[in-house]
Amino acid sequence: MNPEDSSPQVPAHPPAPGQPIAPPAEAPAPPQPSAPVMQTAAPAQPSVPVPREPVRKSSTWKWVVGIVTALTLCAFVSCGALIMFAAVPSQPFDGFALPSGENIALIHITGAIAGGSGGGFSEFASPEAIIDQLDQAVEDPSVKAILLRIDSPGGTPAASQEIAMEVARAAEEKPVVVSVGDVAASGAYMIAAQSDEIIASPTSAIGSIGVIMQIPNYEELIDKVGVEFTVLTAGEQKDVGSPFRSITATEAALLQTEVDVVYDEFIRMVVEGRGMSEEEVKELATGFAWSAVLAKDKGLVDSLGTYNDAVDRAAELGGIEGEPGIVTYGIEAYGPLMDMLFGITASLDRIGSLGQSLTAPTHQPLPR
């Protein structure tokens, strides 16, 4: 059928006689185009702020701070009490028995040797602190011998010689034994040489008899940076050793003379302390530090052994029978305990700060 033919359709089969003929079906009306519909957006509703739940402040941090403060105060009170009694020497006790009066004074010489107050919790050994302990050991009637525990690479010549001279004087009153830890070199060996005997572990570093002076020169670096120094002096050699210029030949000769003077004093102290000839000491005064095994063969060490061996030898020289007591003087007697207390205080302070940060209320914006 032609789609363009709009004539009425005739049924394929004619109706039977007497049957009414149904009118033809009307073609459906074509769809009418719909008019555009305008949609108006509903007015935006004003946003209602969501009420925020109040943050509950925890009181835990207050307890943490209170506990830390109380423990800190207790620590400082304990430290103060210990400092008040620091001048009282620690005495050994056997159960509830009183000290027998047969004791050894233990004095530590640890770290670099230099002038200053030192002692206590200082990182260097000073003449003031060491000499004070030597004097107490000599005057203490319960002390029969002095044991120097040395673990030092040396230090300044003047400070080392000052201690060495006092050790020699103490050795005239009571036996003095040296126990070497890792090292007794340079100025520390000058001190050790004044004792009656030196006992060291086989691998301890011994000797280093010599003197060194180092003068840096930053002149070229200063020129590159573009910095200029104006130096005003009164005295021709007042700025000898300045790191901002090279030293002159005259200045080098002056400094070398000073080094030689200290070197000769070092050799003299070892000769007198060890009872060796000057030629023997000069042969060993190369600045080299030997292991105690080799140092013993060269006459710089008397025997190889441990700290306990040195204690036994000091007791023997002091005429102590039985187990000797160990006496220490000054704040050094309470050094480990004081270090522990200060360490606890610092740890508690850190814990308190952490507790405050963990329990403090945090303010974070809620989602809208």
Per-residue pLDDT of the chain (368 residues; tens, 9 = 90+): 444 444 445 455 555 555 555 555 555 555 555 555 455 555 555 555 555 655 555 566 666 667 777 777 766 666 555 544 444 444 443 333 334 568 999 999 999 999 976 555 557 899 999 999 999 999 999 999 999 999 999 999 999 999 999 999 999 999 999 999 999 999 999 999 999 999 999 999 999 999 999 999 999 998 899 988 888 999 999 999 999 999 999 999 999 999 999 999 999 999 999 999 999 999 999 999 999 999 999 999 999 999 999 999 999 999 999 899 999 996 554 445 545 555 554 555 555 554 555 444 444 444 44
Write out the two tokens for 279: 């030629």
Residue 50 lies in a domain: no
Domain at 122, CATH number = 3.90.226.10
β-pairing verdict for 205-207 and 143-152:
unpaired
Residue 135 and residue 112 share a domain: yes
Residue 352 and residue 305 share a domain: no
Residue 44 lies in a domain: no
Residue 224 and residue 121 share a domain: no
What's the number of CA atoms in the CB half-sphere (13 Å) around residue 79? 18
- Give the range of the structural domain holding residue 219, as residue numbers without chain letter: 210-274
Residue 26 lies in a domain: no
Residue 33 lies in a domain: no
Residue 161 lies in a domain: yes
Measured from the Cβ of residue 350, the count of other Cβ atoms closer than 10 Å reads: 11
Provide the number of structural domains found in the chain.
3
User: What is the dihedral sign for C-alpha 332, 203, 267, 138?
Assistant: positive
The residues assigned a catalytic role are 186, 238
Residue 12 lies in a domain: no
Residue 14 lies in a domain: no
Residue 158 and residue 199 share a domain: yes
* 165 alpha-carbon distance from chain centroid: 32
Residue 321 and residue 309 share a domain: yes
